[in-house]
Structure 1
Amino acid sequence: MTASTATTSVPQHVDVLVVGAGLTGIGLGYHLTTLQPGRSFAIIESRDAIGGTWDLFRYPGIRSDADLYAFGFGFKPWNKDNAIADADEILEYLQETIDENDLGSKIHVGHKVVSADFSTADARWTVTVERTSDGERFEITAGFLSSAAGYYDVDEGYTPHFEGRDDFRGEIVHPQHWPADLDYAGKKVVIIGSGATAVTVVPVMAETAEHVTMLQRSPSYVMPAPRKDPLPILLRKVLPDTAAHKITRSVNINKQTLLYNASRKFPKQMRALVRKVNIKALPEGYDVDTHFNPDYAPWDQRMCVVTDGDMFKSIAAGKASVVTDRIVRFTKTGILLESGDELEADVIVTATGLNMVPFGKIPLHVDGNKVNLPDHVFYKTLMVSDIPNFTFTVGYVNHAWTLKADLVAQWTCRLLAHMDRHGYSTVTPTIDDPTMTRSPYIDMGTGYVNRAMHLFPQQGSKGPWVVAQDYKGDRQLLGKDPIEDSALVFTSATAKTLATAG
């Protein structure tokens, strides 16, 4: 795609400005094109390429951790054999979506949002944008602003302090900043971490490294999953791609829902099941309880997917190993552990997590006053109290991200249509229950979540202010329930008088 980077090609005003040209932004662009065909919009992206996560991360083996029949768009069938797809396959899929729906002219890469201010009097956002190629700044006005920036800090990953880091004579790499020329063939590699990134990198690096050690402070739940899903491959032989995709998507979503609900209702049984699967996949006599039996219940944190059991195979072949211990310090030649052992390393990979940030770190203002996000509350997990004409997308923690992205995009288009029909220029979620209590947006034991929740708006204890992480419920709440809500306050475009839809 030849996305524009020239200032003159970025519109001075649009009806809807979308921030982020990853999977979420491209999906929203599709829905705006099809459901709001007369409305002008632009998608701006701070990086120099589309794709978001799938272009940002370049570590070996990067792939989805959900099957593409659920993780892909609901409107575009995934017709490749790999259900668990590599980043380049996902980028190709996104490019196809852009080309098929003529979205290229709407996407402007290399443009970073510096700040955004909503004027109540003018019923519009003024967004300050910096062109990254030369640092020049200019303004775009928009009637509506939508954040498709996700919640990763694209500038910097998370690395805790390691005593003696500067003493280490080898290379230290964070997966978010993977050097294109890193040579680890025939070398000893230690990967610090036990999450999705670590279990992805281990088997790929083990193919050419002398040995790879995954060093973890505590275990995570790890489950094998087939790269290829036999169901759609069979269905495509007898049905059109669209029908095969629809059936597979429904089956896989229900399967994931069943797994999650069973984990929450029957944690002991699910723990035993995961342990049984791990024992079968690992060498006889392997210490599963030390390395793969967490002290928390299944789905208190996300489960890690091991494609075709590749990490287990690397362990069985002696190419990789897992060490569960705590780090005392880095040394000249490796890492000293609390047990007294020292792991030798030529390369250390700090797969220690990500930094979460709300709305791409964009400072939001209303009538010149900066919004302090933690003072606000999420509305239906797609708007924020007291911030007019603004939606955002953050996916599920227990389902594929795109399931939520599709629902948010469709709801946003329904909202815009509703405002047109009634002549409204602004919509603002307003807390209508002073007795409502508040709690963190996401309640999980995951480190990168807990480190960041103080930066985000909170969730409420009742009504549309609850963050339920419930795809089935959101299909009703966002897909079918009326837009009208006592918590939404609309302003007339003509008289500028408040009107609450009820």
Structure 2
Amino acid sequence: MGSINYDDSDVLDVLIVGAGISGINAAYRLHDELPDKKYLILENREQLGGTWDLFKYPGIRSDSDLHTFGYAFKEWTGADIAGGAEILAYLKKVAEDNGIAERIRYKSKVEAADWSTEERCWFVTVNQDGEQKNYRARFLYTCTGYYDYNKVLHAEIPGIKNFKGKVVHPQFWDLKEDDYRGKRVAVIGSGATAITLIPSMANVTKDITLVQRSPTYILSLEKYDPIAKVIRAILPKRMAAFVIRQKNIARIYASFHIFRTFPGVAKAILGRLTKSQLPSDIPLDPHFKPNYNPWDQRLCICPDGDFYTTLREGKAHIATGHIDQVTSNEIILKNGERIPCDIIVTATGLKLSVGGHIKTTVDKKTVDPSERFVWKGSMIEGLPNYALSIGYTNASWTLGSDCTAQYVVRLIKHMDKYHKSSVVPKPSNRDQLTQRPLLDLNSTYVKKAEKDLPKAATSGPWRMRTNYWYDLVQAKYGGYDDLVFA
């Protein structure tokens, strides 16, 4: 693909905010299908990668298989469950091979964006390495992920200020291996991060304990899928990648719908699988018997059962119950159990946020996204020429963000064809829309954020996306109901 030279002061066709997995995806689709369009990516950090550049905690990896978490246009050839360094290298290669890297402006924090109806253009204010810079763009596309990069989710832990050791949150990890070597570590939390940390730290700690208020479902998956190996052996490379990707998507949705339809059966199956991997001294109840149904929260994945292996080898322990008090050197549960520790890791969830905290206005009037509905999981009610990238809660994030990217490309083509310069989502029957959360999970960190996130509805194009195949068809061929063009 050839590159287009232009000055940053030009009016851009598309301004992408964020150079993580979604931003690079968006840039590729633009570069591939609309090569004459001028675009830039503004990235707050010093390099691309988003999550995979930010998180430094031990064992950081995807909790989705990389054949679906990776891009449809760039086959993944490594392990099905891969680490952060491998994912970051993959993203860098995609950006470099497709001329995307040269379009990224680093240390560029977007602070405000104002849509001018008169000029049919976004005026974007950016703090670029300490200096204010202004950009103009016909289309603003936020690919900033789903959580706050600057703040962690505050968790009420009684007496945590009494603790004399080190307290660290995975999002701002500042420990080296020698800092926890031979130490007693308590990891508070039961989500994917905690399940990743335990086996990654256990080989060097004196003792490490998972301290959880309530358990979660943890499913072992093979790091290298044996079926994928067979497919690669008999099919050409690109065809094999496509077949493996579709197989894994089918597996995701089959388990999701079966588990949601038959929760009792799902609980029994997951319970038996878990019990078969536990040591005899760790009972299923209460440590691995969640009080919710499978897929009410995301299932936690552990590659090759590494979490369970760590428990069986006696390198890690588990404690379940509400924390009564943290003292100078231990955690005391309300059931009386005491967990001595030198280091506490608060793996208690992320502070959710979409849109990158950009002060967004239309003709100088503030728009609060939390009061607006989301159109087809891609655009916000009342914001002209604006898209946001949101992935799935019941499948890999990238599947959803790619649907948005393909939709945005088609929408721009449609506007060019009919000589339209603006498009804004506007529900024709807003008073009849029934509100529902944007993210369909009952995890604590999701529930805490509901009031701050845009809303979904239960009908029409305002429903949240839930099925990749259906949404991909919509992105490529669907109608433009409740969009107003001008």
Match of residue 161, structure 2, among 140, 144, 166: 166
Please give the secondary structure, in 2, of the residue aligned with 1:391.
Answer: strand
Change over 3 Å in CA distance of 1:153–1:231 after alignment to 2:
same
Per-residue deviation, 1:11: 4.2
Match of residue 34, structure 2, among 36, 47, 50: 36
Equivalent residues in 2 for 1:244-263, closer than 5 Å: 244-263=240-259
The residue aligned with 2:398 is 402
Per-residue deviation, 1:442: 2.2
Tell me, in whole angstroms, the C-alpha distance in 2 between the residues paired with 1:236 and 1:11. 47
The residue aligned with 2:93 is 96
Match of residue 121, structure 1, among 114, 118, 124: 118
Per-residue deviation, 1:481: 1.6
> What is the CA RMSD across the aligned residues, in angstroms?
1.4
Change over 3 Å in CA distance of 1:84–1:9 after alignment to 2:
farther
Indicate whether 1:435 and 2:432 are aligned.
Answer: yes
Indicate whether 1:86 and 2:83 are aligned.
Answer: yes
Per-residue deviation, 1:129: 0.3
Please give the secondary structure, in 1, of the residue aligned with 2:115.
Answer: strand
Deviation track 1:302-321 (CA, whole Å, cap 9, x = no partner) reads 00001111110111111101
Per-residue deviation, 1:66: 0.7
Per-residue deviation, 1:440: 2.2
Tell me, in whole angstroms, the C-alpha distance in 2 between the residues paired with 1:307 and 1:330. 32
Indicate whether 1:152 and 2:147 are aligned.
Answer: yes
The residue aligned with 1:333 is 329
The residue aligned with 1:24 is 22
Change over 3 Å in CA distance of 1:490–1:9 after alignment to 2:
closer
The residue aligned with 1:274 is 270
Match of residue 461, structure 1, among 436, 448, 458: 458
Change over 3 Å in CA distance of 1:451–1:197 after alignment to 2:
same
The residue aligned with 1:63 is 61
Contact 1:214 1:322 (C-alpha < 8 Å) held by counterparts: yes
Residue range with higher mean Cα deviation, 9-18 or 205-214: 9-18
Equivalent residues in 2 for 1:298-313, closer than 5 Å: 298-313=294-309
The residue aligned with 1:417 is 413
Unmatched segments (≥5 aa) in structure 2: 1-5
Indicate whether 1:138 and 2:133 are aligned.
Answer: yes
Tell me, in whole angstroms, the C-alpha distance in 2 between the residues paired with 1:371 and 1:311. 45
Please give the secondary structure, in 2, of the residue aligned with 1:452.
Answer: helix
What is the TM-score normalised by the length of structure 2? 0.96
Unmatched segments (≥5 aa) in structure 1: 1-7, 492-502
Tell me, in whole angstroms, the C-alpha distance in 2 between the residues paired with 1:63 and 1:412. 29
Per-residue deviation, 1:130: 0.2
The residue aligned with 1:105 is 102
Figure out how many residues of one structure are paired with residues of the other and give that number.
479
What is the TM-score normalised by the length of structure 1? 0.93
Match of residue 317, structure 1, among 313, 318, 336: 313
Tell me, in whole angstroms, the C-alpha distance in 1 between the residues paired with 2:157 and 2:284. 27
Per-residue deviation, 1:421: 0.3
The residue aligned with 1:495 is none
Contact 1:10 1:108 (C-alpha < 8 Å) held by counterparts: no
Letter in 2 for 1:32: L
The residue aligned with 1:494 is none
Per-residue deviation, 1:463: 0.6
| Fraction of identical pairs, as percent | 38
Please give the secondary structure, in 2, of the residue aligned with 1:14.
Answer: strand
Letter in 2 for 1:79: T
Tell me, in whole angstroms, the C-alpha distance in 1 between the residues paired with 2:144 and 2:284. 38
Letter in 1 for 2:39: F
Residue range with higher mean Cα deviation, 393-402 or 470-479: 470-479
Per-residue deviation, 1:282: 0.9
Match of residue 359, structure 1, among 348, 355, 359: 355
Change over 3 Å in CA distance of 1:188–1:97 after alignment to 2:
same
Indicate whether 1:376 and 2:372 are aligned.
Answer: yes
